[in-house]
Amino acid sequence: MERENRDSRRGVILVTGSSGLIGTSLIFRLTEQFSVIGFDRQAAVPHPPPNVDGVSVDLTCEESVGQALTYVRERYGETLASVVHLAAYYDFSGKPSPKYDDITVKGTARLLKGLKAFQVKQFTFSSTMLVHAPCQPGQRINEKWPLEPTWAYPESKVKTENLILAERGSTPVVLVRIAGVYTDRCRSIPLAHQIQRIYERKFVSHVFPGHIAHGQAFLHLDDLVDMFVRLVHHRQQLPPTLPLLVGEAEVLSYDELQHQFGRLIHSEEWQTWEIPKTLARGVAWLQDALPFGGRPFIKPWMIDHADDHYALDITQARTLLDWEPKRALRNRLPLMIRALKADPLAWYREHKLEPPSWSTQAPQSRIGEW
């Protein structure tokens, strides 16, 4: 009873996907002022901070979700200051997968069903800027921009957003549409593969199937976590339903990233040529079909979206949360490459990349000879 009363005074926050990249950082920040419950299949991060209660939950199983929420209610009561729903399915195959529906869409439905027994003061869903149609250079996407998801991942987010709006009842809802997330070590799959191609001097690092002047918005993990914390603190002042775009104002074009990585890795300019999408699709299909040489990251379906341009108007986040990013991708690129050069094998392992054969036996001076 003493623990429950103390938790109630602090306010209780439920975070799903608590052992993921975003969830791990978020629960550490939230524990400064709240009692935090982490839902994840892995229960919790190693050595969780005080006041984090890690609960193992399988969102594909209604019984598992029900048992977890029963535990929460019995231990913490029926009032939740906020639920931050990060758990979802994601992959780069581009192919439809039943996991998108079972984890992201139906998993959210199971969670919302169980939360009907609680007084939830705020429900925040982690969505993506990719639910919107891309724009052209010079334009900026705001929350009223058309929704036009073009592959399985953003399609699952739109379906889940609609589900939440239909089932929310009187619970205030925030739909956070996030730019590409990165850290000082990278931890962005597209950026990591772009770095890898240039680091290894692969031929494909010099070609791009589209307009090299196009690019996509990014957001540092620490700025994203700060935004989530502000959402919780401002929960009583926000509209009952709030779509919210968050990302950095500056969008580095693909060409600019190429030049930056070329200078940082090899101390040289990196020439990139635009090639027709039809040619790129054929090469990608052939590479993917060959039984040797490893599985390439670039899949045929990616070609059509390679130069989709995403620049964001974050006026709403500035106005409602007094928030804007404090960090910039441009200034963080040197830190990513410094981490790579300091320990290439560790960096490759961290990003789940297969290192080149020469990297296990060649000294640092050989990097970039290919």
**Spatial contact of 147 and 196, defined as CB atoms under 8 Å apart:** no
Cα–Cα distance, 310 to 316 (Å, whole number) = 17
Distance (Å, rounded) from C-alpha 62 to C-alpha 59? 7
Specify the pLDDT at position 6: 47
Expressed in percent and rounded to 5, the helix, strand and coil fractions of the chain are 45, 15, 40
Query: Phi and psi for 244 in degrees, rounded to 5?
Result: -145, 120
- The pairing of strands 82-85 and 79-80 is unpaired
Q: How far apart are CA 157 and CA 86, in angstroms?
A: 11
Residue spans of beta strands (DSSP E) within the chain: 12-16, 35-40, 52-56, 79-80, 82-85, 119-120, 123-128, 173-178, 180-182, 207-208, 218-220, 241-246, 273-274
Q: How far apart are CA 246 and CA 291, in angstroms?
A: 41
The residue type of 243 is P
**What is the crossing angle of helices 189-199 and 254-266, to 10°?**
50
Question: 106-115 and 62-76 are packed helices; what angle lies between their axes, rounded to 10 degrees?
Answer: 30
State the Cα–Cα distance between residues 238 and 232, nearest whole angstrom: 10
Q: Which CATH superfamily is domain 2-183+217-246 in?
A: NAD(P)-binding Rossmann-like Domain (3.40.50.720)
Residue 190: other Cβ atoms inside 10 A: 16
pLDDT at 301: 60
Supply the pLDDT for residue 294. Answer: 52
Residues 6+ apart with CB under 8 A from 243: 143, 161, 175, 177
**pLDDT given for residue 278 in this prediction:** 76
**Distance between CA atoms of residues 323 and 326, nearest Å:** 9
Are the C-beta atoms of 123 and 68 separated by less than 8 Å? no
Residue-by-residue pLDDT tens, the chain, 370 positions: 444 444 445 799 999 999 999 999 999 999 989 999 999 987 545 556 667 899 999 999 999 999 999 999 999 999 999 999 999 999 876 677 999 999 999 999 999 999 999 999 999 999 999 999 999 999 999 999 999 998 999 999 999 999 999 999 999 999 999 999 999 999 999 999 999 999 999 998 999 998 999 999 999 999 999 999 999 999 999 999 999 999 999 999 999 999 999 999 999 999 999 988 777 665 655 555 444 445 555 556 667 778 899 999 999 999 999 999 999 999 999 999 999 999 999 999 999 999 988 765 443 433 332 2
- Contact indicator for 312, 129 with CB cutoff of 8 Å: yes
Contact 159, 123 (CB under 8 A): no
The alpha-carbon radius of gyration of the chain (Å, integer) is: 22
Q: Which amino acid is at 92?
A: F
State the Cα–Cα distance between residues 271 and 285, nearest whole angstrom: 24
Q: Of 271, 264, 295, 268, which Cα lies nearest the Cα of 195?
A: 264
Q: What are the residues whose beta carbons fall under 8 Å from the beta carbon of 278, sequence distance 6 or more?
A: none
pLDDT at 96: 78
Question: What residue ranges of the chain are covered by domains with CATH 3.40.50.720?
Answer: 2-183+217-246
